[in-house]
Amino acid sequence: MASPTPAARTAAASAAASQIEIQSFKFTPATVTVAVGTTVTWVNHDDDAHTVTADDGRLASAGLDHGEQFSYRFTAPGTYAYHCALHPHMTARIIVK
C-alpha cells in the first residue's frame, strides 16, 4: 500500500476526530472540522435524552437515550450549526470542508 498522500492524511485525522461526546449537556468538542464524506458519530453519555438537530433542519436524530448514538455522513461542504431539540441551549457546529 502506498504511503498516504497529504490529503488522505488530513482525511484520516478528521475521521479520527469524528466522534462527538454528549456529556453534561454539552457537545464535545463544540466545533469540529471534517472533510467532505466524513461520518460523524455522536454518543450520549448523559442520563437524560438528547438529540442532534441541525438549526436549519438538514439533519435530525431521534431522541438518544443514555449510551445510544447517532451517525451522519456529511457529503456537502458548509457549516452545520446544530442543537439538542430537547435542550436547545446546547449548541455546536460541524464545519465540512
Partner 1 sequence: MIDPTRERHDPRDAEGMSRRGFLECMTWVGTGLVWTVAGGVLSSRALAQPATGQGAPGDFRFVQISDSHIGFKGDANPDVLATFHDAIAKINVIDPAPAFVLHTGDLSHTQKPGAFDTVTESLKGVKTGRVFYVPGENDVFADGGKEYLSRYGQGTVGGRGWQSFDYKGVHFIGLVNVLTYKADHLGALGDDQLEWLEKDVAALGSSTPIVVFAHVPLWAVYPQWGWATGDGERALSYLKHFGSVTVLNGHIHQIMQKVEGNITFHTAMSTAWPQPAPGAAPSPGPMKVPAERLRSVLGVRDVTYVQGRSRLAIIDSPLGER
The contact set with partner 1 (CB under 8 A) reads 24-26, 46-49, 51, 53, 62-63, 65-66, 83, 85-89, 91
**Which CB sits closer to partner 1, 81 or 95?**
81
Q: How far is the CB of 44 from partner 1 (least distance, A)?
A: 11
> CA separation (Å) from 78 to 2, 58, 68, 83?
31, 12, 26, 16
Query: Which residue's CB is nearer to partner 1, number 33 or number 91?
Result: 91
Least Cα distance to 20 among 37, 36, 39, 47 occurs for 39
